[in-house]
Structures are given as structure tokens and as C-alpha cells.
Amino acid sequence: MSLLRFIFSKTFLIQIGLAIVALIVLAFLTMQWLDFTTNQDERIKVPDLAKLSLDRVELTLDELDLRYEILDSANFNPDYPKYSVIDQVPQPGKFVKENRKIYITLNPSGFGNVKIPDLIRRTRRQVEPTLRSLGFEIGSVTYKPDIAKDAVLELRYKGKLVEPGDELMKTAKIDLVLGDGSGRYTGDLEENDSIQEGDIDNETENNDEF
């Protein structure tokens, strides 16, 4: 009976109440400490690093207590400055914890060079797909007198003649010079004319002798 009286006594109930309050306070303080040490409520918005140089990236992320790591890139994007950021993970606008690492991909210095195959005297229908498959663009198309219509007579880049085996930067715009099918040979036109004139002169001299 004395135990039951003690359990239901005012003193015991007060002690139980104080213990419960102490546990609640302790649990609250523990949660607050965990939130503080793990930055549960602290979030940093990831900035947009697109087209920024590496120096600007480092400065921007340092101000936000973020880190970065560079990923290799083999895809040159002409719309972005050289060595600028073309991609990042996490994406801009995401929220991350302090000291989080941002993975960035940099734009390389340019496209690699591609060797020009021998396409002279091939048809336009063959040459254009071949050049595009190598990463080149087709520029202007002009015609010159030649026996073969739409046969490729010359390849030119920025007005300069391109020979088989030359190397050009990928995505370079190549101009085509095609034959017009008129039946006259472009390359030997002057030589053929001079030969014909010489033959005529010889013929005339022979007739005069008779």
C-alpha cells in the first residue's frame, strides 16, 4: 500500500513530469545540434556557370562555399567561348549543401582537323554526303565549263584551293566547283585552243605549198 501511495503521490508525479520535460528539452536540443552540424536547413542555390571562364567559375563558387571538378570534353561547341563552361552537374537552380562539389565540362580550344579525301571527278551526289559525314558543311556551288555535268572539279575553302590530303577543321564550310556539262574541258581549255590554232596554221602552210 505504501508503494501505491508513493506512486500516486504528488511528489512522484512532479518528478515524473520533470523527467518528461527534461527528456523533451534534451531531444529538442539534440535535434538542434544535429541540424547545426549537418546543415540540414542550409541550402545553397547552384549558380548558372554557362560560358564562364575557369577563373570566373572559381571566384563564383568560392563566394558560395562550393567546390568544382573539371570533366573531360571532346565536343567543341562554337556557340561558347573557348575553355568556358558548356555543362554542369548539378544544374543551375538546384539547392545543395555547403562545400558541395559542382562538376563542370569545359569547351575545348576547337575542333580537330580532318583529312580531305580525293573527291575530284566524283559526282556532286557522292561528294556532298561524304563531306557532311566527315563533319564539314557545304558552302557555295559554282560551275565551270567541263564535259561532265555535276562532276567535282575543285574544292575550295575561303577561296583557296583544297587538295586531297589537306586537313581542315571540322565544320569548315567547303565550296564546290562543278562541271556544267558543256563539253569543254576547263583545265586544258587554253592548251586545246592553242593546239587547234597550231593545227590550222600548219594546214594553211601545207595548202599554200601545193
Give tens-digit pLDDT for 115-133. 999 999 999 999 999 999 8
pLDDT at 41 over 70: no
Q: Edge-to-edge strands of the sheet including 101-106?
A: 67-71, 101-106, 85-89
- pTM (whole model) above 0.85: no
Which stretch of DSSP H or E encloses residue 58?
Answer: helix 54-63
DSSP label at residue 112 = P
Label residue 17 by pLDDT band (50, 70, 90). confident
Question: What pLDDT is attached to residue 195?
Answer: 35
pLDDT-derived band at 52, boundaries 50, 70, 90: very high
Residue 200 pLDDT more than 80? no
Q: Mean pLDDT for the chain?
A: 81
**Range 186-205 average pLDDT:** 40
Q: Residue 46: CB partners within 8 Å, gap ≥ 6?
A: 66, 88, 90, 91, 92, 93, 94, 95, 96, 102
Query: Is residue 163 within 8 Å of residue 117, measured between CB atoms?
Result: no
pLDDT over 80 (residue 193): no
DSSP 137: E
Cell of 180: 556544267
Instruction: Tell me how far apart the alpha carbons of residues 185 and 82 are, in angstroms, rounded to a whole number.
Output: 45
The rounded distance, in Å, linking the Cα atoms of 59 and 102 is: 13
What are the Cα distances from residue 93, in Å, to 38, 44, 88, 89, 119? 21, 9, 11, 11, 50
pLDDT (tens digit per residue) in 67-96: 999 887 657 787 888 889 999 999 999 999
Q: In which band, very low, low, confident or very high, does the pLDDT at 4 lie, cut at 50, 70 and 90? A: low
Residue in the block written with cell 571540322: 170
pLDDT level of residue 197 (50, 70, 90 thresholds)? very low
Asked if 171 contacts 136 with a C-beta cutoff of 8 angstroms, the reply is yes
pLDDT higher than threshold 80 for residue 1: no
Angle at 41 between CA 38 and CA 43, to 5 degrees: 95
Structural domains of the chain in order of their starting residue, each with its CATH number = 44-106 (3.30.10.20), 113-180 (3.30.10.20)
Q: What is the grid cell recorded at 66?
A: 562550393
